[in-house]
Amino acid sequence: MSGNGRRIPIGYLLDTWAWIEYFSGNRKTRRYILGDEPLITSVVTITEIVRYCRKTGNTDLMGSMIQEIGLRSDIVPVSQDIAFRAGEHYNHDVDGIADSLILATARDTRYQYRIVTGDPHFRKLPETVFIG
């Protein structure tokens, strides 16, 4: 714990941007995904990956992408508390329900992980590792 009573982050939450970049071969994201720190992914990212694969016509890769996400990180469900906090973050810290849920997951007291992303919505937040 830090001096202010908050837990010091010891891992990373990978948002959808980070996973898509990883699957595209981005070396910056590989450093985090293939490192030794604990990794989590919001279940919301699974929805966004499915949407991305359908939009780009990569549905043949969708299953293997989702499987690898589950192998490399813990998938975190949306609890009632995370959903509540996401409502507080929406249009205040970030725009969009998905980003609000991802932020609330990273800030959840069980995790307090840093968000690895290149999504500009997260850029100015203190828990962001911006690699865009």
Render pLDDT for 57-80 as a digit per residue (tens, 0 to 9).
999 999 999 999 999 999 999 999
Answer yes or no: is 1 within a domain. no
Tell me, yes or no, whether 4 lies in a domain.
Answer: no
Domain count, the chain: 1
- What's the confidence (pLDDT) of residue 2? 44
* Of residues 83 and 4, more confidently modeled: 83
Q: Is the pLDDT of residue 50 over 90?
A: yes
Residue 3 covered by a domain: no
- Residue 56 within any structural domain of the chain: yes
Residue range 94-120, pLDDT digits in tens: 888 999 999 999 998 787 799 999 999
Q: What is the pLDDT of residue 5?
A: 52
Percent of the chain with pLDDT over 90: 77
**In a domain? residue 123:** no
Q: Which domain holds residue 48?
A: 12-117
- Beta strands 39-42 and 12-14, pairing class: parallel
Establish if 79 belongs to a structural domain.
yes
128 within domain boundaries: no
Residues 6+ apart with CB under 8 A from 76: 13, 40, 41, 42, 43, 82, 105, 108, 111
In a domain, 6, yes or no: no
For residue 109, give the CATH number of its domain: 3.40.50.1010
| Full-model pTM | 0.88
